[in-house]
Amino acid sequence: MGFWLSIALGGALGAISRYWLGHWFNHFLGRRLPWGTLSVNVLGAGLLGFFAAWLLGHPGETLLIHSESPLWAGLGVGFCGSLTTISSWSLESLRLALDRRAGALFTYIALTLILCLMAVTVGFMLGGQLVPD
C-alpha cells in the first residue's frame, strides 16, 4: 500500500505544483509562447534526471525505471509524472499550428526538446553525485 500511496501523494503534489508554477511562469514571462508548460517540463525533466541518478544508480548504469522503491514511486513516477505534461505541450503546439504561428511553433518544439534533454542530463549528473562510490 505504501508504494501506491507514494504515487498518489507525489502525483497530487506534482499536479498542484504544475498548475501553480505554470501560471507563475506565464505571468512573469508572458504568453508569447506557452512558457508555463515549457518551464514545468524543463524543471520536471531536470528533477526526473536527478531523482533517477540519486535513487536508482550511478550515471552510466542501467536504470531500473520500474523500481519498487516507494521514494522513487512518489518522486519520479508521481511528482515528476504529474508535474510534466506531453498532453498540454501537444495541445499548445497544435494551437500554435492552427493559429499559423510557424515561427513560434518551431521555437516551442525546439526549446522543449533541447532544454528538457539538457535538464534531464544535468539533473542526472547532479543526482549521481549523491550516490556513494
Instruction: Identify the three-state secondary structure at position 115.
Output: helix
C-alpha–C-alpha distance, residues 81 and 67, integer Å = 15
| Contact between residue 45 and residue 123 where contact means Cβ atoms under 8 Å apart | yes
How many C-beta neighbours within 10 Å does residue 41 have?
A: 25
10 annotated to a ligand binding site: no
C-alpha–C-alpha distance, residues 88 and 98, integer Å = 15
84 annotated to a ligand binding site: yes
Q: How many residues does the chain have?
A: 133
| Contact between residue 46 and residue 115 where contact means Cβ atoms under 8 Å apart | no
The C-alpha cell of 79 is what? 511528482
Task: Please state the residue numbers annotated as binding site.
Answer: 81, 84
Task: Please state the residue numbers annotated as binding site for Na(+).
Answer: 81, 84
